[in-house]
Every structure is written in structure tokens, then in C-alpha cells.
Chain A
């Protein structure tokens, strides 16, 4: 057999290319006279383009507008007395992330330190209040403690860690909204007070969590052998994909109340969430269908030949492979969904960008557009990049054993 015949021969490593940084510069930037010329021209252009921006950033930018309106940008008009709930959710998030890290990821010390560093950096920002600093540092401690716990528990905690995410997502809605146990304890916070980054995140998370299973069902429906189910799926997908998200949001905001019996109203934020979910599900369905088609037919045959039922074949064999194939596409779509939440401004909800514009509408802040928009853009970029990074990690972790 092949693996036994292979003789243990000395295997030479490939010749490594090692340079000092000076050597690297010479090889890549100044290898020939025209490369040197190109290098200088590029440097000159970069300087000319970046100089105005850098001088503005370092010398003229005035971040007071962000400082003053920071709470507004983060949570909108959420009552200051109830902000502790948001902190509570952040603490819980730190605990759940820490636990999951300890159970599933382990090791990867550099990455762990990077994650822990993020709250500390936030705490160092000049706009952070002393109590916020304390909270951020304490969150890190909670995360570390939770990851130790996860590590001690190991695989036995896997089920618990998975469920903790589900419970967490339910808690997010419950705690943000409040359940009015008594008028004093956890009073309801009406959704018209939700805003800023909080609303952006809620719309995104709800959109992802609900459109994902719906999209999978639609993708399976479109491939179903039952004509009725297939027709419903095709019509749904094609209709929704043919309509802009703004239209769907308008429909949800303006049209839906007409169809409801008088006296019954559906919350505005809830309607936006439903609109985003329905919209995203149609696109997700097509992406998942692409993944399903990429799974070789032999996989179905092998599963059938073993006697697996259609349901087990789908959940155990086909979907795991199909979803892994489409992770990059799905994550791309989730990032798009995250950014598309800014469109809810058209139906009067003030998410992060909406709040930013509301702030800038005040006369005293009119001249601070650059600071505010840069700040908002930075937040969008950081979260989008985080999602993209998670996607890459997922790909490599789940890609184990792929040819």
C-alpha cells in the first residue's frame, strides 16, 4: 500500500526568500531606473492627495461635536436612566463571546489579545467618561473569566455555548424593549426612542437571524419536486428581488396599516425589521441555491443508498456542504444588509446615519460635517471589517479536510 512504501527520505524545505527591509525596498521599489521613477511619482502623488486630509485630521478637526452627541449617536433617545441595560447586554456579550472562545477557538493568543485590546483602546479615547472606562475594562475581565470557564468545561460546554447565543439574542430584544415587570422595574422603552448604533445593530442582527433560515427554506422550496411549493418560492424570490429595499420599507411603513383592522397597530421598528428580513431572505435564497447546486449529485446518491431520509440527507450531508461553499457570498450579503439598514431613515427611523444627519441639522453643528461623517464611516468600516474577518476565519475553520 502506497503509504507504507514511501521511504522516509530527507525532505528539503523550499528555498526561502529572506530579505532585510532595506533589501525588500531595493527589490520591490528600486529594482530598475523606471521602477525608481515610478516609486517617486507615486510617493509624490500620494503626498499631494493625502496632505490636505492629514493636515485637517491632525490640526483642524474638532471632535467636540462627536463628544457632545456621543450618546445620541450610540443609542439615540434611549432614556439615560435605562442605559445600564445596554451596558448589561454588552457585559453579557463579552461573557458569551469569551465562553465561545474558550470552548471552540482556544489558543490563538495574538487574536485573543487583539480582541481584548479593542475595549481598552475605546477606554483610552478622550471622549470616554470615567464610568465608561471602568465598564470597558470590567467587560474585558468578564470575557477572560468566561473564556477560562469555557476552557475548563471544554467540549462538554459546547451545547451550552451554542444555546447561550440563542438565549442572548432573545435577551437583547427583551432587555432593550423592557418587559415592565412592575412600572419601576424594566419599564417599556417605546421603539421611537431607539436609535443610533443601537438601532443599526438591532436591525442587522434581527435581519440576519431571521432571513437566514427563511432564505434556506426558500432555496429548498425552489428546488422542491412539489410544483406548488416551487411556484410559491419562485414567485416570492423573483418579486422581492425585483423591488428596491426602499420600496419594501415604504410598503411596510405606509401600506401595511391600511390592511390591518382599526385599533391594531404594528410597531414601526418591527415593520422595518420584517421588511429587511423579507428582502434579505430572497437574495439569501438564491445564494444558498447556488451552494446547493455546487454539491455533487453523488452526495445525494451516497446518502440515499445508505438509507438516509430526505430530511436527514439535507440537514446532515447537503446543507453543511452547500452553506460552507457560500460563506463568502452570505457574509457579503450580511455586510450589505448591515449597510442597507441606513435606508430606514426614509421611514423616519433614526439609526446611526439618521442621527448623524439630525445632529448636523442643528445650526451650531452645521460646519462639522466632516467630523461627524468620518466618525460614522469609521464605525461602519470597523463593523463591516469585523464581519468580513469572521467570514474568513469561519471559512478556514470549516474548510478542514477540504482538498
Chain B
């Protein structure tokens, strides 16, 4: 496990901003009507880090990760992604969305497009790549996620695990700097969870910055640099997997971990 941490933290890829965090959140608040979903969340993520966010349902973890690419709007506080602050400025939002890939619980593939078209759509229309380049990159990504033979099928013809791997390839095709995973394995049958996690682990080893909302504690133990426990819209506790699993400081963390690890 330790050797997986090292390439991420100690040999980051060359970039002028390596010493600075790639994501900075300061005191982020978010309300749905009168319900406060986020109550002052602050977090800094360094380039190449793998962050696992976990917590009970309704704790705001999904809401938080979705504020990072403005699928949800935060109402107070500051979010800076890759040096760009998320405000009402549409150009900033588009810029951030180009640099962040997102994988959803329900895959959200486009059912009327083939697998290859799903992956090439954004590179063609947002990055304005020529068609052959987009298709070449897409084909390589399909090899990488292990399903090159499914390129011409439609999402409805694939299993859940295959669909989620296509969704990962689709997000990666934009060559993002950050990948956000919103419960990527929660909608999958047990035997398909592994094939998706394998792809995510491989991705973590390449040095991708990843924020993962998940309850897959094996994944967290294996590749996460830090873990954040959310409850009632706040970060209750954070630390390395070792600290969280072997020596949690807060009662709520301990209780939650005991509930999900011993059922």
C-alpha cells in the first residue's frame, strides 16, 4: 500500500503550480430551501491526491463533490479549481468543467449514441478535436478500461459494470486534470464492482487527482491518500486511511465505520 502512495505524493508531474493545491474550498455553504446541505466545508486537495469522501446518506458528500464542477451552486464561501474561482461567470464554469471529469452513480451515458460516440462527443464539440484524433483517443481509452470490443454497441446493450467503465472513459477523453466520482459503484451488482474499482485503482496509480464519494473501504484503504468523513453537511474528521481506520478520533466516525464494516 505504501508504494502506491509514493508516486502520487512524491513525484508529481511537472507543472508550475505543483506546490499549490489544485482544489481549494473555503467555508462552503449550500442550502436547498430551508435545508442546509453544506455547513462550512473547507478542504484543500493537492495535485495527484486521491481523496475518499464517505458518510451517512444525506450528509452532503454528493452535494459537495457536485459543487466542485458547479452542478450544484454554492451560496457562500469560495471554491477555486485549478486556479479558477467558481462564480456566476459562465466562462469560468465552462473552463472548470473542461478540466474536471465526472462519473455518476447512474452512469448517465447517452442512450441514443454508441459507446464510441459517447466518448468522442465532448472532445469533438468542446475541445474541437478533429474526428480521427477523437476516435483514436477513444479507442485507446476503451482498451484501457478493458472493453475495446464494445465500441459500436449502445449503452443499453452493456452490463452495468461495462457502462460505468464507458462513463469513466468518456470523462477521461476530455483529458481532465481532476476526476470526480459520485458513488460510482453504488448502483452495480456485487460482481461488477470489482471491474470498475480496478479501473479506478489503475487511474489512481497514474497520478490523477481523484475525489471519490464511496463506501468501498477496501478501495480507500488501498489507494486513498486522505479520507474525509462527512456528517450533517460538515467535515467531522479527516486523515490518512490508517488514522481513520485504526484510530478514529470522533465518536460519530467510529459509529459509522462500525456500521458499514460489520454487517
Q: Which residues of A approach B to under 8 Å, CB–CB?
A: 1-3, 296, 298-299, 301-309, 312, 316-317, 320-321, 324, 398, 400-403
Bound complex: CA A306 to CA B161 (Å): 21
B122 lies within 8 A of A306 (CB): yes
B109 lies within 8 A of A401 (CB): no
Among candidates A301, A321, A324, residue contacting B104 with C-beta atoms closer than 8 Å: A301
Among candidates B108, B122, B195, residue contacting A1 with C-beta atoms closer than 8 Å: B195
- 6 A-B pairs in the complex with CB atoms less than 8 angstroms apart: A298-B106, A304-B71, A306-B126, A307-B97, A401-B114, A401-B153
Chain A residues with CB under 8 Å of B100's CB are: 305
A402 lies within 8 A of B71 (CB): no
* Apart from A305-B71, A306-B121, A306-B122, 17 more pairs, CB < 8 Å: A296-B106, A301-B104, A301-B108, A302-B104, A302-B108, A302-B110, A305-B69, A305-B171, A306-B126, A308-B126, A309-B94, A312-B125, A312-B126, A317-B110, A401-B112, A401-B156, A402-B111
Bound complex: CA A152 to CA B69 (Å): 48
Among candidates B94, B110, B112, B157, residue contacting A307 with C-beta atoms closer than 8 Å: B94
A299 lies within 8 A of B156 (CB): no
B92: interface (CB < 8 Å) = no
Bound complex: CA A62 to CA B155 (Å): 59
A321 lies within 8 A of B111 (CB): yes
Instruction: Please name the residue on chain A nearest to B122 by beta carbon.
Output: A306
Chain A residues with CB under 8 Å of B114's CB are: 401
Bound complex: CA A304 to CA B71 (Å): 8
Among candidates B71, B121, B125, B155, residue contacting A401 with C-beta atoms closer than 8 Å: B155
Instruction: Please name the residue on chain A nearest to B157 by beta carbon.
Output: A401
B121 lies within 8 A of A301 (CB): no
Chain A residues with CB under 8 Å of B69's CB are: 305
Among candidates A298, A304, A307, A403, residue contacting B156 with C-beta atoms closer than 8 Å: A403
Q: A301-B104, A305-B69, A312-B125 are in contact. Are A2 and B110 (CB under 8 A)?
A: no
Chain A residues with CB under 8 Å of B112's CB are: 320-321, 324, 398, 401
Chain B residues with CB under 8 Å of A2's CB are: 159, 161, 191-192
In the complex, chain B residues 83-113 whose Cβ is within 8 Å of any chain A Cβ: 94, 97-98, 100-102, 104, 106, 108-112
What 10 pairs across the A-B complex have the smallest Cβ distances? A401-B154, A302-B108, A306-B122, A298-B108, A305-B102, A307-B97, A403-B156, A307-B126, A307-B98, A401-B156
B111 lies within 8 A of A401 (CB): yes
Q: Mark B136-157, 1 if CB is under 8 A from A, else 0.
A: 0000000000100000011111
Q: A320-B112, A324-B112, A401-B155 are in contact. Are A306 and B174 (CB under 8 A)?
A: yes
B97 lies within 8 A of A306 (CB): yes
B170: interface (CB < 8 Å) = yes
Chain A residues with CB under 8 Å of B111's CB are: 321, 401-403
Bound complex: CA A301 to CA B121 (Å): 15
Bound complex: CA A296 to CA B107 (Å): 12
Chain B residues with CB under 8 Å of A403's CB are: 111, 156
Bound complex: CA A319 to CA B162 (Å): 26
Instruction: Please name the residue on chain A nearest to B99 by beta carbon.
Output: A307
Instruction: Please name the residue on chain A nearest to B180 by beta carbon.
Output: A305
Q: Mark B51-80, 1 if CB is under 8 A from A, else 0.
A: 000000000000000000101000000000
Instruction: Please name the residue on chain A nearest to B96 by beta carbon.
Output: A307
In the complex, chain B residues 14-49 whose Cβ is within 8 Å of any chain A Cβ: none
Chain B residues with CB under 8 Å of A402's CB are: 111, 154, 156
Query: Shortest CB–CB separation between residue A242 and chain B, in angstroms?
Result: 34
Bound complex: CA A324 to CA B104 (Å): 24
Instruction: Please name the residue on chain A nearest to B154 by beta carbon.
Output: A401
Instruction: Please name the residue on chain B nearest to A303 by beta carbon.
Output: B110
Bound complex: CA A18 to CA B101 (Å): 55
Chain A residues with CB under 8 Å of B146's CB are: 1
Chain B residues with CB under 8 Å of A304's CB are: 71, 97
Chain B residues with CB under 8 Å of A301's CB are: 71, 104, 108
A298 lies within 8 A of B174 (CB): no
Q: A1-B195, A401-B155, A403-B156 are in contact. Are A308 and B122 (CB under 8 A)?
A: yes
B171 lies within 8 A of A306 (CB): yes
Chain A residues with CB under 8 Å of B162's CB are: 3
Chain A residues with CB under 8 Å of B174's CB are: 306-307
Instruction: Please name the residue on chain B nearest to A320 by beta carbon.
Output: B112
Query: Shortest CB–CB separation between residue A190 and chain B, in angstroms?
Result: 46
Chain B residues with CB under 8 Å of A308's CB are: 121-122, 125-126
Query: Shortest CB–CB separation between residue A307 and chain B, in angstroms?
Result: 4
Bound complex: CA A44 to CA B234 (Å): 79
In the complex, chain B residues 151-186 whose Cβ is within 8 Å of any chain A Cβ: 153-157, 159, 161-162, 170-171, 174
